[in-house]
Amino acid sequence: MDKSEKTFGFTIGPGSDEGSGPQELAYLNLVKLAAGTVINGRYRLEQLIGQGGFGIVFAALDLTLNSRLAVKFLNPRLAKNEKKFLRVKREINLSRQISDTRIIKIFSLEMWQGIHFLVMELAAGQSLKFHLKEKGQFSWPQFKNTFLQILEAVEVLHRHGIVHRDLKPANILIADEQKIKILDFGLAKAVDDIDKTSTVGEVVGSPYYMSPEQIRGETVDCRSDVYQLGLILYRALSGRHPFEHTSTMEVIFNQLNQRPEPIAAAGINLPRFLRFGLEKALEKSKARRFRDAGAMAHFFQRERLTRLSRLLHSLGRRPVKWALAGTALAALLALGYFTTFGSRAVHSLRNDGGVLEARNRFGVRLWLKDFS
C-alpha cells in the first residue's frame, strides 16, 4: 500500500522516525495490542487497519453504543507541537459543525495511557488516489457522478464558511455504493477565523494541489478550494497531474506561472463546456474562478455553456489598451505596480535540502516551507 494511502477513511502518513522517549516507545508498541483490548473501559479494539508517522488506526467497537468506529492514536510528537495539535482540535470543532454523510465525522478526542486518540466514523473504502492509480484516467461520463458528489460535499463546507485548503485525491474516500466522503480537516479553516494556526507568509498544503495564493502565503477563501477541485478533475480526465514529473520547486513555479496544457493536446476530446469549466477553475487569478463549490457544481450539473459565460470569460482574457494622458500617470501606475504586485510576486525560489524559500524581486523573503 502507498505510504500515504488511505484505508477505512484515514490518512496514515509517512513512516515513523520517532526518537526513543517513553511516550514514543509506548506509541510504537500500540501496534502490538491484541484484538479484544478495551481502552478507557469503552472501546474494544478489533483490528489494526493502518499505521505510520502521524497515527495508528484501529477498527473498534463502542461497547456503550454497540457501534463500530475507528480509534486513531496520535503520534506524541503531534501533541507536543502546539500549532499542529491546535489544528487537530480545530478539525474536531469543524467536524461537529457539519451534519452531512459526505463529511467524515470525528466524535471525540480522548487519552489512554498518556497518548491522545481520536474516536472517528469508520468508513470502509479506498481513496480516489487509489482508484486513479488503478484505472489511470476516467471519461467524463464515468467520473461525473463522483465529481458532482465531491462538489456538493465541498459546497456544504463553503455554506458553513469553511475552506478545506487541502483537497486532493488522497483526501477523498470512495466508500460503499460509490458514495464519497471528504477527509482530513487538519488544514480546514473558517473564512472569518482569526485564531491563527499558521503565521503570515507560512505555506500550508500539498505542493501538487496548492492554489497560487496558498503558495504566496496569502489569505485564502473558497476559490482556493475551487482551484484544487479543478486540479482533481484535470487529473481524473487526463490521467496525469498537469505538472507531473517535475521537482517540488518546478511544481511551485508552475502553479504560480504556467497554465496547464489543454487536455486536448493529449488527444482526449472533451465537450466545450468541460474545457471551459476546467479553464475557469484553474485560473491563476482567484477573481476569475468560480466563486465557490456551489457555483462550480451548478455549472457542471448543467453541462452547457451559455453565450454570456463565453463572452464574459473572453473579455476578461483580452488585453485592454488604455490611452494614458501623460507620462506622470504612466509613472504613477508603474510605481503602484512595483510597490504592490511587484513586491508580493515570487521572483526567485531556492531549494535547500527540501526547504523551499521564495523571495520577491527586491530580495525580501515572502515565505519559507519545509517540503522534505
**Domain finish residue from 296, 317, 338:** 317
The Cα 210–Cα 140 span in angstroms is 24
Q: Are residues 141 and 208 in the same domain?
A: yes
Tell which wins on pLDDT, 46 or 81.
Answer: 46
Domain membership flag for residue 258: yes
Domain membership flag for residue 39: yes
**Domain finish residue from 72, 91, 120:** 120
- What does the block give as the cell for 333? 501606475
Q: Which domain holds residue 338?
A: 327-370
Q: Are residues 97 and 143 in the same domain?
A: no
Contact (CB, 8 A) for 217 and 203:
yes
Domain membership flag for residue 353: yes
The Cα 262–Cα 133 span in angstroms is 21
Q: Are residues 177 and 63 in the same domain?
A: no
176 as an active site residue: the answer is no
Residue 34 CB burial class (10 angstroms; 0-12, 13-18, ≥19):
exposed
Q: Are residues 152 and 263 in the same domain?
A: yes
Q: Which residues have a Cβ under 8 Å from the Cβ of 183 and sit 6 or more positions away?
A: 6, 9, 10, 11, 104, 171, 172, 173
Catalytic one of 166, 221, 225, 292: 166
Q: Looking at the predicted structure, is the pLDDT value of residue 22 above 70?
A: yes
Helix (H/G/I), strand (E/B), else coil: 262: coil
**Domain finish residue from 87, 120, 153:** 120
Residue that the C-alpha cell 492514536 belongs to: 73
pLDDT at residue 129 in the model = 94
Q: Read off the CATH number of the domain in which 211 is found.
A: 1.10.510.10
pLDDT at residue 49 in the model = 87
Helix (H/G/I), strand (E/B), else coil: 175: strand
Q: Once rounded to an integer, what is the mean pLDDT over residues 115-119?
A: 92
Q: Are residues 142 and 289 in the same domain?
A: yes
Strands 115-120 and 106-112: antiparallel
Q: Read off the CATH number of the domain in which 69 is found.
A: 3.30.200.20
Q: Once rounded to an integer, what is the mean pLDDT over residues 165-179?
A: 89
CA-nearest of 36, 54, 53 to 45 is: 36
Q: Are residues 278 and 348 in the same domain?
A: no
Q: Are residues 115 and 131 in the same domain?
A: no
Q: Are residues 299 and 154 in the same domain?
A: yes
Residue that the C-alpha cell 448543467 belongs to: 302
| Percent helix, strand and coil across the chain, each to the nearest 5 | 40, 20, 40
pLDDT digits (tens, 9 = 90+) for 243-285: 987 788 888 889 999 999 999 888 899 999 999 999 999 999 9
Residue 235: φ, ψ to 5°: -60, -40
The H-or-E segment that residue 74 falls in is strand 67-74
Q: Are residues 88 and 193 in the same domain?
A: no
Of the pLDDT bands very low, low, confident and very high (cuts 50, 70, 90), residue 330 is very low
Q: Are residues 217 and 293 in the same domain?
A: yes
DSSP state of 84: H
Q: Once rounded to an integer, what is the mean pLDDT over residues 322-333?
A: 41
The Cα 86–Cα 109 span in angstroms is 12
Domain membership flag for residue 147: yes
pTM: 0.73
The total domain count for the chain is 3
Domain membership flag for residue 259: yes
Domain membership flag for residue 291: yes
> Amino acid identity of 103?
I
Mean pLDDT over all residues of the chain? 79
pLDDT at residue 285 in the model = 94
The CA angle 222-280-261, to the nearest 5 degrees, is 120
Q: Are residues 303 and 155 in the same domain?
A: yes
